[in-house]
Chain A
Amino acid sequence: MAWTTPKTDWEVGELMRSGAMNAVGENLVELGRVRNAVAAHTTTADIAIANSRTFVDIHSNLNLTITTAGGDVMVHFHGVVVNKQFRIDVEVDGTRLGQDEYGLRRGDVNHELVSFTHLVQNLSAGSHTFKLQGRNHATTLRSHAQFWVREI
């Protein structure tokens, strides 16, 4: 249900109509909906990230979709990357979030723990797809990495 700006200017003697109480209920429903607007995937095996000079999807399971009512979304990733020379980014509806050259994260430490929680603000209402992408040289993402998105 749509969010309605809560009424905060009640005056003494004003009649409380059913529409006003319904708006309170609908707003509570909306707050409950946001708590469930989440998608997540935890890898169960090592993933070999394709050797590429451009950012490419790491795995189809790491493509997540949520439908939002419009507003802010948190995008989180944590995992261990094996071998050096990796770059990681997140693509939202076809547009990468990070820096053109090296994305959200550039690393060259073997077995590095990579973690970020990126705040995307003012996303429009509707369905949005988030893809974890990499640009790498013979890099492996260790199992039990996790990628999640959540409307907030």
Chain B
Amino acid sequence: MAWTTPKTDWETGALIAASDMNEVGENLATLKNPATAVYTTTEEITVLHAPEFTDVDGDNLNLSITTAGGDVLVHLHGTGRRRSGDTDCDFDIDVDGNRQGGDKGILSTRLYSYYHDLSFTHLIQNLSAGNHTFKLQYKTQRDGIRLLGGAQFWVREI
């Protein structure tokens, strides 16, 4: 439901209209149930060499929420594993076709051991009201990485 700026200028004798009460109910519902989408991977995902940002998993790590307009948190946590030698790897979020980060995304790291922590919580501010799509993307300069099962990607309106 849409958020409406609450009326805070009531005066003595002002009549409460049905629309006023409906706005109160809709605002309460919006506060109680902020738009949320989440996907937890169930098995290892292998992503290959990609010189340009590419979806990690276009089917599942591709989340949509319908917001009332405002701020959204986007979070990833998981364990990355290199496929061979030290591997530079950049992660980013594509929101409605626009990447949030720079040339190296929002999380740029080097997988120099077999297992490596991958985690970020990214705040996106002032997103318009409506439906929005969030895709986890990556690029690597070597032969790719593995994202172990149990990684979680979520978005939540706040």
Contacts and interface: CB of A to CB of B under 8 A. Distances in A.
A112 B112 CA distance: 12
B29 to A, nearest CB: 5
A99 B40 CA distance: 10
Given A16-B21, A114-B117, A6 B26 contact: yes
B1 A8 contact: yes
Contacts of A103: 150
A31 B156 CA distance: 17
Interface residues of A, number: 41
Contact of A6 (B19, B24, B115): B24
A124 B38 CA distance: 18
A3 B32 contact: yes
B26 A118 contact: no
Interface of B: 1, 16-19, 21-22, 24-26, 28-29, 31-32, 36, 38, 75, 77-79, 112-117, 119, 121, 148-150, 152, 154, 156
Contact of A121 (B24, B38, B79, B121): B38
Contacts of B19: 10
A116 B32 contact: no
A16 B16 contact: yes
Top 4 nearest A-B pairs (CB, nearest first) are A6-B25, A116-B77, A10-B18, A99-B150
A152 B38 CA distance: 14
A12 B18 contact: yes
Contacts of B31: 31
A31 B28 CA distance: 9
Contacts of B113: 84, 107-109
A117 B75 contact: yes
Contact of B32 (A31, A97, A99): A31
B68 to A, nearest CB: 14
